[in-house]
Structure 1
Amino acid sequence: MRLTNPLPLFMMMVLFSPLAIDIFLPAIPQMAEALSVPVSWVQQSLPMFMLSFGIGQLLAGPLADRYGRRPVALTGTLLYILTSSMAALASDYALLMAARLGQGFSACALSVAAFAGVRDFFGAERSKPMFSYLNGVICIVPAAAPLLGGLLTHWWGWTANFWFMAGYGVLVSAVLWLMLPETRPDNTRSEGRLLSWSRYASVLEVETFRFHAVLALLGMAMIIGYVAQSPTRLMVELGLDARSYAIWFGVNAVINIMAAFAAPKVVGWMGQKRALWFGVVLMALAGMAEFALRGLMTPIAFMGPVFVASVAFSFLIAICAGSALAPFGDRAGTASALLGLFQMTGAAIVVGLFGASGLSAVEQLSLMMALPLVWVLLRGRRQQLEPQPEAA
């Protein structure tokens, strides 16, 4: 049995990554106690996951182009089940970190297969709003996962979070086995070594990919920067408790969801060029407001500009992901993997550099909100802002 429109399946596939990031956050103190390590050690499982998620795409992309999206996705679900179970059964810190490393590799395989599948199935132009819808679905997890993780931890302990991930993997694996079609085009380029510089150089040589991939990277850096800086600002500096923090965090996730589903229609009405300028200018204005309000010690003074920046980010994703992948109908897997590497690993590097700058949390976030506009001003020649023709 195959679906005539596999978008719901792609939506299920992209949830593996945010689920592995957000659901176990309330359990971190309990995990540290159970494994007899400092809380800061357990927190390192987050960058460990993101590192393997980003680097793993360099292999997952060529695999998806050579062997197809379906086998890569199914392999990813099986590996996710195994590594999630491994984390749940971990009796020491080293085993937990190894499991998190494996979770990152498995989640990246599913993400690459999903993004390449969208590009395959919907084509260069129709795929652009679909990527925004995927982003909206991804944002559902940060809104709900911490609450679910807190309940699972309260009722059954920290291991329940990883058993839940494994259970989700079993469910989605069965659905994909029955319904996921193979979308890889017949003209896909898959010859040569899996890992070679020339494979990725041919993607990086395309100007529209570089422009939109870097813009997506900078937008994602703002999101990661907010996630990294919000606990310091809201809980340490403003004194919010965990419940109040979760509420503010969830409200922003809901705003992101609504903006992600509305953005494609607004972009269609405004036109891609004007919508892109609107997005980067709106995010820069949010950064200015964030900086101007830094002296007001209230949650809304910090989160209000974040709400605006999250809406702006939805416009960027609605345009950048599809535009970056548009020229690569014959190697969408490789291009999707490289885009994912830009977004995750590249954004994490930017956030890390700002974190080492010595600036305050608000100052860092304010500057990150301005970076997309700076990039467009530096590289925003007209031909980069217009839709690019698809390569044969």
Structure 2
Amino acid sequence: MNAKPPIYLFLLLIIVSPMGIDIYLPAFPQIADSLQTPLSNIQVTITLFLAALGIGQLIAGPLADRYGRKPLIIAGLMLYIASSTVAALSQQIEMLWLTRIFQGLGTCAVSVSVMSGVRDSYSSERTASIYSYINGVICVIPALAPFVGGWLSETWNWRATFYFMTGYALLIGIISLWRLPETRPENTVCSAKLIHWAQYKPILHNSIFQFNSGLVMLAMAIIIAFVSIAPIRLMVELNLNPTSFSIWFGSNAIINILASFIAPIAIRKLGKTKALQLAITMCSCAALLILLLSHIAHPFAFMGPIFVASTGFCLILGICCSSALAPFSKRAGTAASLLGFFQMAGASALVGLVNLLPMASLHIMAIVMALPLAWFIFYKKDVTLKVYDK
């Protein structure tokens, strides 16, 4: 039997994902000035990273099954290192866009392999607790990374944030070469083709999956829109410095952590259907609030509605992720990869399209916050069944 990898290594590896999103946010205005491009073009770097992260999920799983978890982790880290280095050297926005796509693909390879490695190495009981640790890391890093990024960009410049990503991935890569064993089971079955489109057809035609994956995508779009709009609203329009931005931005990560603990209690007390209605109501109220408070030039007028929507986001994910996968006990992996595709790539594409609208950033945020309600109304007749309350 293969040796079990140390849990701390899984946690260190998964950090490349949230760090790739959050560490350079305080440097958005600097990057725009340096590359002489509008801030809207810098927002696209978030969308491209997350879209690549989502699209890559369709192929990363089969690659990990065919070639092993460790080779894919090392390959992903090498791609992450190379793209981060080139990003730091970028002189045009187009080059930065391209490097962010490759960063997203490298991140996807690492993340999928880590999740597979945990499942390979530990019992189902132990796996649940390790996934909780991983989710905890994913929630905590957005609260810490902007402080590091703000300090790096103020002490040196925005390029230092990408060099930091390079250095971190290089260090973790060396540790992985030394300490990470291969975990792929010897009896792993690999298909001749990496992607079989036919295997996704019955999942896509399932109304339970359609309803829940749609809500997961729209809820994730709220977070992606917030991440891309926050630097503009807080640092450019409200003139916050990188440290103040990091405090306000990081506070939402704390709200997410608290909400992730509260969500299971609310779902248990209310039931899935009522809890989902509450979550969608919170997102809709947040949309209304952000419009009503748009004339107030204070960070809380922006972040208050975000806190409300983020709590709704945690409830939606807790309910709809499990409900979307519930009908597919025999194809859980395929369904999960498709759900991940919609959650990341679908949400990123949606935010990218909405950002093209000729309107203020707060109005765009309000539209995205209201989309879960529109989806809920569209599917209203069978909601109780589709959230899998039984």
Give me the TM-score of the superposition, normalised by structure 1.
0.80
- Contact preservation (8 Å) 1:63, 1:194: yes
- Partners in 1 of 2:112 and 2:76 — Cα distance? 10
The 10-residue stretch of structure 1 (80-89 or 145-154) with the greater mean CA deviation from structure 2: 80-89
Assess, with a 3 A threshold, how the Cα gap between structure 1 residues 113 and 337 changes in structure 2: closer, same or farther.
Answer: farther
- Partners in 2 of 1:372 and 1:129 — Cα distance? 30
Give 1:182's aligned amino acid.
Answer: T
Q: Describe the SS at the equivalent of 1:381.
A: helix
Deviations, residues 338-375 of structure 1 (Å, cap 9, x unaligned): 22221222112222333333343333322322322332
The 10-residue stretch of structure 1 (13-22 or 213-222) with the greater mean CA deviation from structure 2: 13-22
Assess, with a 3 A threshold, how the Cα gap between structure 1 residues 199 and 116 changes in structure 2: closer, same or farther.
Answer: farther
**Structure 2 unmatched runs, 5+:** none
- Contact preservation (8 Å) 2:65, 2:188: no
CA shift at 1:179, angstroms? 5.0
| Superposition map of 1:33-48 within 5 A | 37-38=36-37, 40=39, 44-48=44-48
- Partners in 2 of 1:176 and 1:326 — Cα distance? 34
**Structure 1 unmatched runs, 5+:** none
The answer for the alignment partner of 2:322 in structure 1 is 322
- Partners in 1 of 2:210 and 2:158 — Cα distance? 41
The 10-residue stretch of structure 1 (16-25 or 354-363) with the greater mean CA deviation from structure 2: 354-363
- Partners in 2 of 1:267 and 1:99 — Cα distance? 40
The answer for the alignment partner of 1:364 in structure 2 is 364
| Superposition map of 1:275-286 within 5 A | 275-286=275-286
Assess, with a 3 A threshold, how the Cα gap between structure 1 residues 318 and 292 changes in structure 2: closer, same or farther.
Answer: same
The answer for the alignment partner of 1:100 in structure 2 is 100
- Partners in 2 of 1:370 and 1:91 — Cα distance? 38
Assess, with a 3 A threshold, how the Cα gap between structure 1 residues 325 and 171 changes in structure 2: closer, same or farther.
Answer: farther
Give 2:183's aligned amino acid.
Answer: E
The answer for the alignment partner of 1:310 in structure 2 is 310
- Contact preservation (8 Å) 2:150, 2:242: no
The 10-residue stretch of structure 1 (51-60 or 61-70) with the greater mean CA deviation from structure 2: 61-70
CA shift at 1:2, angstroms? 1.1
The answer for the alignment partner of 2:385 in structure 1 is 383
Give 2:245's aligned amino acid.
Answer: Y
Assess, with a 3 A threshold, how the Cα gap between structure 1 residues 354 and 47 changes in structure 2: closer, same or farther.
Answer: closer
- Contact preservation (8 Å) 1:79, 1:103: yes
Give 2:290's aligned amino acid.
Answer: E
The 10-residue stretch of structure 1 (85-94 or 346-355) with the greater mean CA deviation from structure 2: 85-94
- Contact preservation (8 Å) 1:15, 1:137: yes
2:268 matched to 1:259? no
The answer for the alignment partner of 2:224 in structure 1 is 224
- Partners in 2 of 1:248 and 1:227 — Cα distance? 12
CA shift at 1:155, angstroms? 4.1
- Contact preservation (8 Å) 1:77, 1:169: yes
- Contact preservation (8 Å) 1:143, 1:249: yes
For these two proteins, the number of residue pairs brought into alignment is 384
CA shift at 1:134, angstroms? 4.6
CA shift at 1:309, angstroms? 1.1
CA shift at 1:238, angstroms? 4.2
Assess, with a 3 A threshold, how the Cα gap between structure 1 residues 144 and 268 changes in structure 2: closer, same or farther.
Answer: same
The answer for the alignment partner of 2:215 in structure 1 is 215
Assess, with a 3 A threshold, how the Cα gap between structure 1 residues 174 and 211 changes in structure 2: closer, same or farther.
Answer: farther
Q: Describe the SS at the equivalent of 2:358.
A: coil
The 10-residue stretch of structure 1 (17-26 or 320-329) with the greater mean CA deviation from structure 2: 320-329
Give 1:108's aligned amino acid.
Answer: C
The answer for the alignment partner of 2:22 in structure 1 is 22
Deviations, residues 83-111 of structure 1 (Å, cap 9, x unaligned): 33444456776665543332111111223
